[in-house]
Amino acid sequence: MELRPLVGVIACRRQVEGHPAHMVTDKYLRALHDYGLAPVMLPVWEDGVDTALLTKLDGLLLTGSYTNVEPWRYGEEPAPQNTRDDRDRDAVSMALIPAAIERGLPLFGVCRGFQEFNVAFGGSLHQAVQTVSGLLDHREPEGDKAAQYAPVHDLAIEPGGVLAGLFDRSCAQVNSLHQQGIARLGDGLRVEGRAPDGLVEAVSVEGAASFALAVQWHPEWQPAEHPLYDALFRGFAEACRHHATR
Ligand SMILES: N[C@@H](CCC(=O)NCCCC(=O)O)C(=O)O
């Protein structure tokens, strides 16, 4: 049986039953599996990461998380609303992102992963989007998980970009479960999509040798039910398969 392309999935530090743990929620792993990929969890050690491990991978997924990138990384003090961090995850993602781009490794960022992309490229974040004049409240709606991950706003897809090349419509509906968002766009990133209030919600890396796309919403939630989410995972999986044949 042909080995599936190996995709590294960055973990989050958590306490589980009183024990320090590294965690990835099922929906990220299941989405990669359902699109023919083999997920491999990447622990986030406090002493960082040996980026040489990327030579054994065919792709890298930066997942969402309820924690936030530490604001000192974009020159700011924590806002009162910014109460949860994961410094070990930050250290690992800030090392892996440039290393993956340099190696031409397919790279896909989701929610926090999207925000990590932007900070890794020198950009900054709104720490509480709902407090910014002119921007919507992008936090998840009340209700069960089905309600929280249901599509809630339009996404306008920028013409002529990577996302437009994956998906044949100029607009789609996406879910929204985030308090933070892009303030200053990172150097070398291209805007690929925006929310109705203008907030950037999808970016790509200009000149990247492979798939290098990050989105603020959660395409791993039932991707087969949402054509845009499906197009993203199909595109990422194809890039990982191509990388595996190199
Ligand atoms: N903490 C950041 C990023 C939000 C985020 O990644 N949410 C994920 C929720 C859990 C999951 O589905 O993985 C912010 O608030 O902007």
Q: What is the per-residue pLDDT for 82?
A: 94
Give the nearest ligand 1 atom to 218 CA. 12
Reported as a single tens digit per residue, the pLDDT across 130-180 is 999 999 999 999 999 999 999 999 999 999 999 999 999 999 999 999 999
Residue 153 within a domain: yes
Q: In the annotation, is 192 catalytic? A: no
pLDDT at res. 48: 87
Mean pLDDT of 91-119: 98
CATH number of the structural domain spanning residue 100: 3.40.50.880
Residue 119 in any domain: the answer is: yes
Q: Is residue 155 domain-resident?
A: yes
- The Cα–Cα gap between 45 and 92 comes to 8
Given a cut of 80, whether residue 230 has pLDDT beyond it is yes
- The candidate with the shortest Cα–Cα distance to 169, out of 154, 150, 180, 179, is 154
CA of 37 to the centre of ligand 1 (A): 23
Query: Domain span at residue 76?
Result: 6-245
How large is the C-alpha radius of gyration of the chain? 17
pLDDT in tens, 55-89: 999 999 999 999 999 999 999 999 999 999 999 99
Task: Identify whether 178 is part of a domain.
Answer: yes
Dist CA 28 CA 245 (whole Å): 24
The rounded Å distance from CA 128 to ligand 1 centre is 13
215 is a domain residue: yes
| CB-based pocket (< 6 A), ligand 1 | 25, 63-68, 111-112, 177-180, 218
Residue 219 reports pLDDT greater than 90? yes
Looking at the domain assignment, is residue 32 inside a domain? yes
In a domain, 1, yes or no: no
To test the pocket of ligand 1, the residue of 12, 25, 61, 66 to mutate (highest count of ligand atoms within 8 Å of its CB) is: 66
Residue 33 φ/ψ, nearest 5 degrees:
-60, -45
Provide the pLDDT for residue 212: 98
And the tokens for 124?
């900054």
The number of distinct structural domains making up the chain is 1
Residue 96 pLDDT greater than 90, yes or no: yes
Spell out the alpha helix ranges (H) of the chain.
Answer: 26-34, 87-103, 112-120, 145-148, 162-166, 227-244
pLDDT at 1: 74
Ligand 1 pocket check: which of 28, 62, 178, 221 to mutate, most ligand atoms within 8 Å of Cβ? 178
The catalytic position among 126, 138, 218, 243 is 218
Structural domain includes residue 157: yes
CA pseudo-torsion sign 100, 101, 105, 109: positive
User: Is this prediction's ipTM beyond 0.95?
Assistant: yes
Q: What is the pLDDT at residue 214? A: 98
Encode pLDDT of 9-62 as tens digits: 999 999 999 999 999 999 999 999 999 999 999 999 988 899 999 999 999 999
- Residues 233/5, Cβ–Cβ less than 8 Å: no
